[in-house]
């Protein structure tokens, strides 16, 4: 779905430099189609993004609809 595709695009765009400069972990609590808990880890080596809880504690937790999440990143 659109949420999973957005996270795949985010994962593909990550660079070591971006992770080093950001140093943050973002957790998204999404409602609606494709919802659930998702994360973007821009703190751990190499970074990661995907479904479920982040591998380390989140610095920011955002709750929104999955439709708003996709709009925010497109």
Distances (CA, A) of 47 to 1, 22, 58: 22, 10, 13
| Sheet bearing 24-31, strands edge to edge | 48-51, 36-42, 24-31, 60-65
pLDDT number for residue 61:
98
Q: In this predicted model, what pLDDT tens digit does every residue of 34-66 receive, in sequence order? A: 999 999 999 999 999 999 999 999 999 999 999
**Annotated domain spans of the chain:** 2-72
**Binning pLDDT at 50, 70 and 90, where does residue 7 land?**
very high
Model confidence pLDDT, tens digit, residues 22-31: 999 999 999 9
Q: Is the pTM of this model over 0.75?
A: yes
What homologous superfamily is domain 2-72 in, according to CATH?
Answer: SCP2 sterol-binding domain (3.30.1050.10)
Token digits for 12?
């593909």
């Amino acid at each position: 779905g659109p949420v999973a595709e957005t996270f795949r695009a985010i994962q593909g765009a990550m660079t070591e430099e971006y992770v080093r400069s950001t140093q943050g972990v973002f957790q998204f609590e999404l409602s609606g189609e494709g919802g659930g808990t998702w994360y973007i880890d821009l703190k751990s080596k190499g970074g990661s993004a995907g479904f479920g809880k982040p591998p380390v504690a989140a610095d920011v937790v955002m709750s929104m609809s999955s439709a708003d999440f996709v709009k925010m990143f497109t």
